[in-house]
Amino acid sequence: MVHKAADGTLAVLGTFFEVGAANGALDQVFSNMATASDVPAALPSTLDPTLLLPTDNSGWIYDGSLTTPPCTAGVKWNLYAGVQEVSAAQLALFTHDPSFRPTQALGSRLVTGGD
> What are 67-81's pLDDT values in tens digits?
887 888 999 999 999
**Domains of the chain, first to last:** 2-96 (3.10.200.10)
Share of the chain above pLDDT 70, in %: 84
CA dihedral 56, 79, 36, 5 (to 10 degrees): 100
Query: What local confidence, expressed as pLDDT, does residue 9 receive?
Result: 95
**pLDDT of 45 strictly over 90:** no
> No. of H helices and E strands in the chain?
2, 5
**pLDDT of 62 strictly over 70:** yes
Containing 32, the helix (H) or strand (E) segment is none
